[in-house]
Amino acid sequence: MEAVFFILFGAVAVGASIMVVTRRHPLSSALYLLMALFSVAALFVLRQAHFLAAIQLILYAGAVIVLFIFVIMLINVPEERLPSERMTAMRVLGVAAAGILILESALLARRFAMPQPPVAEVGTVEAVGIALFTDYLLAFEITSVLLLAAVIGAISLAKKKI
């Protein structure tokens, strides 16, 4: 049952990701990105990481992609002014490199068995919270300082006079 859902959402995630880079219109790309994020959130749920899935949806799907779409809407490039796609040598090489990477990772993945779903509830809000505020406290604090610096930077860039 779980394998079925894993294959389903995994396939959707991979397919949507390919669509993200191949679509011509930026808004279509953004929507496929949303689809990919959704499927990844579903994969998180399958691994019992409910908290991570919820946060993924709230932050990425609910906020970040909306901002992307916002920018696309504000710039609002008409369809005919979008740059046309060309086959360049770099692109052909890029596709070839991507194929090799996928093959390599598939070969690597064959060495590992699919991990069993965790028995203990490691993905719950409580477990994540406890881990975050004990074992990984330093990393957590450093991240928050980094975010604060980013916030201050954004404000100082946006405002001419503070």
Partner 1 sequence: MTAVLFLVVVALARIAIVFSFCFGLVVVFTWAERKGAAYIQDRRGPNRADILGFRAWGMFHPLADALKFLFKEDFIPDNAQRLFYQLAPMFAVAPVLMSIAVVPFGPDVTIFGRRVALQIADLNVGILYIFAVTGMTVYGVVLAGWGSGSKYPLLGGLRSSAQMLSYEVSMGLSLVGIFMVFESLRLSRIVAGQGELLFGFLPKWGVVVQPLGFILFITAQYAEANRTPFDLPEGESELVAGYHSEYASFKFSMFMMGEYLHMVIGAVVVATLFFGGWQVPFLADTGFVLPGGASVPLPEILVIALRTGSIFLKSLFFTWLYVWVRWTIPRFRYDQVMRLGWKVLLPLSLVNIFATGLVLLLLGK
Query: What residue ranges bind partner 1 (CB under 8 A)?
Result: 27-28, 31, 34, 41, 50-51, 53-55, 57-58, 61-63, 66-67, 69-70, 73-74, 76, 121, 124-125
CB of 42 to partner 1, least distance (A): 12
59-89 burial: b if 16+ Cβ within 10 Å, else e: ebbeeebeebbeebeeeeeeeeeeeeeeeee
CB of 24 to partner 1, least distance (A): 13
Q: Contact 37/65 with Cβ under 8 angstroms?
A: yes
Distance CA 45, CA 56 (A): 11
Residues whose CB is less than 8 angstroms from the CB of residue 21 and which lie 6 or more positions away in sequence, other chains included:
29
Q: How far is the CB of 49 from partner 1 (least distance, A)?
A: 10
DSSP codes of every residue in 122-148: -SSHHHHHHHHHTTTHHHHHHHHHHHH
Nearer to partner 1, 74 or 90 (CB): 74
Q: Which is nearer to partner 1, 66 or 98 (CB)?
A: 66
Of 67 and 96, which CB lies nearer to partner 1 in the complex structure?
67
Smallest distance, Å, CB 73 to partner 1? 5
| Residue nearer to partner 1 on the CB measure, 108 or 117 | 117
